[in-house]
Amino acid sequence: MDASVHTSHPGQDHKVTPMMEQYIEIKTANPDCLLFYRMGDFYELFFEDAEQASRALGIMLTKRGKHQGEDIPMCGVPVERADDYLQRLIAKGFRVAVCEQIEDPAEAKKRGGKSVVKRDVVRLVTPGTLTEDALLDPRRSNRLIALSRVPTGEDTARIGIATVDISTGAFIVEETSPSNLATDIARLDPAEIVVPEAMLDDELLEAIIRGARVPIAPVARDITDGATAERRLTEAFGVTTSAGFGQLSRAELAAGATAVSYIVRTQRGARPPLSPPKQTGRDDVLHIDGATRASLELTRTLGGDRAGSLLHAIDRTVTPAGGRLLADRLASPLTRPGSITQRLDSVSLLVEDARLRRDLRALLKATPDLVRAAQRLAFRRGGPRDLACVRDALIAGRDVSTVLAGRDLPAELGAIRESLGAPDPKILAALGDALAETLPLRTSDGGFVRSGYDPDLDAARELRDESRKVIAQLQTRYADETGQRTLRVKHTNFLGFFVEVPAPTGEILRTPPWNATFVHRQTLQGAMRFSTVELSDLEQRIAAAGDRALAIESAIFERLSQIVIEAGDPLKDLSDALAALDVASALAELAADRSYVRPEVDLSLDFTIEGGRHPVVEQALNGAPFIANGCDLTPSASAENGRICMITGPNMGGKSTYLRQNALIAILAQIGSFVPASSARIGVVDRLFSRVGAADDLARGRSTFMVEMVETAAILNQAGERSLVILDEIGRGTSTFDGLSIASATVEHLHNSNGCRALFATHFHELTELSKRLPRLFNATMRVAEWKGDVVLLHEVVPGVADRSYGIQVAKLAGLPASVVERAKTVLAELESADRTGKRGKPVSDLPLFSIAAAAPPPSAPEPESDPSLDALDGIDPDDLTPRAALEALYRLKALRKSASREFPRDARASKKDR
């Protein structure tokens, strides 16, 4: 909005209308939001709000009056479609203040003809405070996180994190350190971050928070004050002490109070219907930083799509709540073998009992989103269909409980069965008796209470419906009396009931004797409208009956909603149980469908996978065979720590796929899922690091190599003996010798200092020599074959070392022009000869690390001008060749090239056995 609108007092501009004065006052109180100002059937936006909204929504920008001598920009959206527009604005990072009429227009008229209807903001719509189905992704949690910082000593502090999903009522608090904050934010994947303004003054914390690239809501001290945190938190839940929440730290109390205060502010004082805050143990989950999550594409691809991610590949859930729970488990794999085993036991039973799995999934498929429907009712934003969601979920819970009754179940499924009976059966009885078969979207539409449920409602409906029959009879009588078969009785909110006839007929009704009965009301193009005393009396009777019926239904809705609200905790327990059962049956369906096996997970440092497969790539092949490969990083008999595998091989040979598949198998095992392998034994991984692929971070002024080094530094500074590290192409973003040196030092640090299990892929074949002096390091390579000068990628991992990277052959497969490929071969031969003889500087053979390169005798590189195939190529004019002549010329060139290859063989080429 223009600065003048914010700073000038409305009285300074005598041209400001009362309505615009009201708008400016409300907008000034909400300067950081787009103001949806209710005017009749539209939400209108003015000034800069209108300009921003019109660009964001692609709607027309108009004008309305003047302010301080300039036209006032305006645009608007229909109230009935407001959710669609809100969704688009929220997705673009806007916050919206919804301003409604809070009094009846008739009351405003009593104050004078120019009085403005009272309006006020009833809600702030922000990315982290959404509850409407139309604004939410049903299969994704919508979390708001609030941060706090509590100093613990000189230059040290603890960070409190409160995580709230108001669409489900979930409320979690935890404590972390500044060094782990980025990892925790990435794990929680928030829709909005509420942060004290003071925290943004810290450059390090500001970089971490803004690096999450989600909307940020800075808040002032009044809702982040740590001294009053406990009081504000206990008042929000109506208790006298926070002891019932557990032993919350100062940082957790401050973050929790900040979250609650922010939600109360956005809901305009309404107490949020949240579950009491629960603590979560940081040591209970696998730590995966943001770069690793993005690299492994756990829930979204690098392009931001769900399709192509691990979540998309494994998701067989049939309920929205189950889909959200699976995503949450994938974001936070467990590190306690006991808890993992309980989940695996549930999946095992459902894999073995296909009939039980099929019956449960059929019942779950009909289960609506119970917890979000109940939350909307608690927020007073629900409708009749939300009541039906609760009813249908209760029916599903009852039926599932019947299927599970009498069975010998593992611990997790046994707890689920107990939770299915948590809600009072009287709730289902009340909802089942009251609700009709077909339900409207809004309570104000009426007609959602079953006939026969309430005698007073039935009586009011009968009077209302009988009056409608009388209207139809009255229309027939008027048409007969006047002889005008085109006469119709119609209704609008403005005129009420009226008689409408074509214009020529209207002129007749305006003359005696008809003008004594029909009173002219309105002339339209081609039609006239009239009223009668009889019609006005009938309208009053109909309106009274309709209003009474709607009032009775509204009272019934409020009574049923209150029953649901009072059963909040048992309904949440039921929703959680159904979601957990959905996840267990979905993972069992996945295992049965894709031939996954149960992994062994324990507290050892083992990491042995046989016949491992990449879960996403395998599905993308659409039935084509996937080459399975094993991985063994288990400590040897003489070592205390896990091993490091150095992988070499050609471009496109499958190194990156192999790296990722082993990391993904570990994640799947630790969420309690079967894994794509023939067998797997995994010692719990406490931290997972991945450095695969590279990209610029231009927004922070980082080059590709700088991003690579920052991520590598994070790994080397944090990985421990229980960590799993996968690294690909470290050092390739700089000069050859710099890169070799960095890669070599990195491997040595992983081996000597971190002591972790690791997979290290590289094109620096010289690094394989490190296995001679690093006992935990061993070499593996991607097997390839050559056929008539072309490379065949076999995607098989075998012990050994690659002889070369086959980059030129892969470039040929990619479609590089033949002339470029041939020239690259010539240049490669020259460079290899120069490196081996030391002509480009210090001989490589003088560097102990690279002594493998000196072991091979230098080849005799042919000079370009001595190549007979190139000489023959110069004598060919392509424009003069017929197709047959061109084919014959190609065969001659290949024969000449083959002859030249025999004359100048590659001495460094691997033996047939090695290949």
d(CA 353, CA 417): 17
Q: Is the pLDDT of residue 574 over 50?
A: yes
pLDDT bracket for residue 871 (50, 70, 90):
low
Q: Strand 496-502 and strand 488-492: pairing?
A: antiparallel
Tokens 């971490």 correspond to 208
Q: Are residues 60 and 166 in the same domain?
A: no
- Known binding-site residues equal 649-656
Q: Find the mean pLDDT for residues 848-862.
A: 43
Instruction: Decide: 123 and 268 in contact? Cβ < 8 Å.
Output: yes
Query: Nearest Cα to 184, choosing from 174, 194, 199?
Result: 174
709 contact partners, CB below 8 Å, separation of at least 6: 742
Give the pLDDT score at 6.
Answer: 39
Question: What domain range is 837 assigned to?
Answer: 816-903
Q: Is the pLDDT of residue 2 over 60?
A: no
pTM: predicted TM-score of the whole model, two decimal places: 0.81
d(CA 691, CA 295): 7
Give the pLDDT score at 862.
Answer: 46
Give the pLDDT score at 646.
Answer: 96
Joined tokens for residue 694: 């590279």
Give the pLDDT score at 364.
Answer: 97
Q: Is the pLDDT of residue 108 over 90?
A: no
706 contact partners, CB below 8 Å, separation of at least 6: 697
- Domain end: 90, 125, 160, which one? 125
d(CA 579, CA 346): 13
Q: Are residues 741 and 805 in the same domain?
A: yes
- Known binding-site residues for ATP equal 649-656
Q: Are residues 57 and 115 in the same domain?
A: yes
Q: Are residues 578 and 634 in the same domain?
A: no
CA dihedral sign, ordered 242, 244, 250, 251: negative
pLDDT bracket for residue 704 (50, 70, 90):
confident
Query: Nearest Cα to 506, choosing from 530, 481, 476, 475?
Result: 530
CATH code where residue 717 lies: 3.40.50.300
d(CA 143, CA 214): 11
Contacts of 355-361 spanning 24+ positions with Cβ under 8 A: 356/403, 356/407, 357/585, 357/588, 357/589, 357/592, 359/403, 360/400, 360/403, 360/581, 360/585, 361/318, 361/585, 361/586, 361/589
Higher pLDDT, 744 or 737: 744
pLDDT bracket for residue 66 (50, 70, 90):
confident
Q: Are residues 249 and 350 in the same domain?
A: no
d(CA 491, CA 775): 90
d(CA 76, CA 426): 46
pLDDT bracket for residue 12 (50, 70, 90):
very low
- Domain end: 280, 299, 324, which one? 280
Let me know how long the chain is: 915
Higher pLDDT, 210 or 471: 210
Instruction: Decide: 760 and 644 in contact? Cβ < 8 Å.
Output: yes
Joined tokens for residue 618: 């395998």
Joined tokens for residue 344: 């695996």
Alpha-carbon distances, residue 458 vs 7, 435, 547 (angstroms): 57, 14, 13
The strand order across the sheet containing 96-101 reads 62-67, 70-78, 42-46, 34-39, 96-101, 119-125
Give the pLDDT score at 842.
Answer: 45
- The 3-class secondary structure across 500-550, one letter per residue, is EEEHHHHHHHCCCCHHHCCEEEEEECCEEEEECHHHHHHHHHHHHHHHHHH
Instruction: Decide: 751 and 639 in contact? Cβ < 8 Å.
Output: no
Query: Of the segments 370-374, 469-473, 736-740, 853-857, which one has the largest average pLDDT value?
Result: 370-374
Query: Nearest Cα to 149, choosing from 186, 187, 194?
Result: 194
- Domain end: 754, 786, 813, which one? 813
22 contact partners, CB below 8 Å, separation of at least 6: 116, 119
Which secondary structure element, helix H or strand E, spans residue 901, and what is its range?
helix 883-903
Residue 562 lies in a domain: no
d(CA 121, CA 102): 9
pLDDT bracket for residue 282 (50, 70, 90):
low
DSSP letters, 317-359, are --SHHHHHHHHHHHHS-B--HHHHHHHHHHHHHHHH-HHHHHH
Q: Is the pLDDT of residue 907 over 90?
A: no
d(CA 811, CA 10): 70
Query: Nearest Cα to 135, choosing from 381, 317, 438?
Result: 381
Instruction: Decide: 91 and 18 in contact? Cβ < 8 Å.
Output: no
Instruction: Decide: 228 and 194 in contact? Cβ < 8 Å.
Output: no
| DSSP state, residue 640 | S
What proportion of the chain, given as a percentage, has pLDDT over 90?
55
Q: Is the pLDDT of residue 276 over 70?
A: yes
Query: Nearest Cα to 656, choosing from 762, 735, 742?
Result: 762
Residue 204 lies in a domain: yes
CATH code where residue 214 lies: 3.30.420.110
Joined tokens for residue 893: 């060139």
- The 3-class secondary structure across 175-238, one letter per residue, is EECHHHHHHHHHHHCCCEEEEEHHHHHCHHHHHHHHHCCCCEEEECHHHCCHHHHHHHHHHHHC
Q: Are residues 382 and 268 in the same domain?
A: no
Higher pLDDT, 846 or 368: 368
Instruction: Decide: 597 and 674 in contact? Cβ < 8 Å.
Output: yes
Q: Is the pLDDT of residue 188 over 90?
A: yes
d(CA 820, CA 827): 10
Residue 212 lies in a domain: yes
* Average pLDDT value over all residues in the chain: 86
Q: Find the mean pLDDT for residues 283-295.
A: 90
Residue 560 lies in a domain: no
Give the pLDDT score at 846.
Answer: 42
Q: Find the mean pLDDT for residues 165-170.
A: 94
- ∠ at Cα 788 (784, 789), nearest 5°? 70
pLDDT tens track for 476-519: 999 998 888 889 998 887 778 899 999 888 888 888 998 888 99
Residue 659 lies in a domain: yes
Q: Find the mean pLDDT for residues 389-403.
A: 95
Q: Is the pLDDT of residue 908 over 70?
A: no
pLDDT tens track for 769-802: 999 999 999 999 998 887 766 777 788 999 999 8
What proportion of the chain, given as a percentage, has pLDDT over 70?
88
Q: Is the pLDDT of residue 899 over 70?
A: no
Instruction: Decide: 73 and 63 in contact? Cβ < 8 Å.
Output: yes
pLDDT tens track for 817-840: 888 888 888 887 887 777 655 554
Give the pLDDT score at 259.
Answer: 94
Q: Is the pLDDT of residue 8 over 50?
A: no
d(CA 299, CA 425): 38
CATH code where residue 574 lies: 1.10.1420.10
Residue 557 lies in a domain: no
d(CA 405, CA 709): 57
Q: Are residues 266 and 158 in the same domain?
A: yes
Kindly report which listed range (253-262, 311-320, 323-332, 729-738) carries the lowest average pLDDT score. Answer: 729-738
Query: Nearest Cα to 89, choosing from 128, 127, 143, 140?
Result: 127
Q: Is the pLDDT of residue 465 over 90?
A: no
Q: Are residues 658 and 776 in the same domain?
A: yes
Q: Is the pLDDT of residue 455 over 50?
A: yes
Residue 309 lies in a domain: no
pLDDT tens track for 223-262: 878 778 889 999 888 888 888 888 899 999 999 999 999 9
Q: Are residues 21 and 154 in the same domain?
A: no
Q: Is the pLDDT of residue 875 over 50?
A: yes
Tokens 């309920």 correspond to 319
pLDDT tens track for 205-217: 999 999 888 999 9
Give the pLDDT score at 855.
Answer: 39
d(CA 182, CA 187): 9
Query: Nearest Cα to 680, choosing from 698, 702, 699, 662?
Result: 662
d(CA 785, CA 913): 11
Is residue 91 packed enough to be buried (19+ CB in 10 Å), middle (13-18) or exposed (0-12)? exposed
CA dihedral sign, ordered 772, 773, 776, 782: negative
Give the pLDDT score at 732.
Answer: 77
Q: Are residues 70 and 171 in the same domain?
A: no
Residue 304 lies in a domain: no
Q: Are residues 761 and 621 in the same domain?
A: yes
Q: Are residues 424 and 348 in the same domain?
A: yes
Domain count for the chain? 6
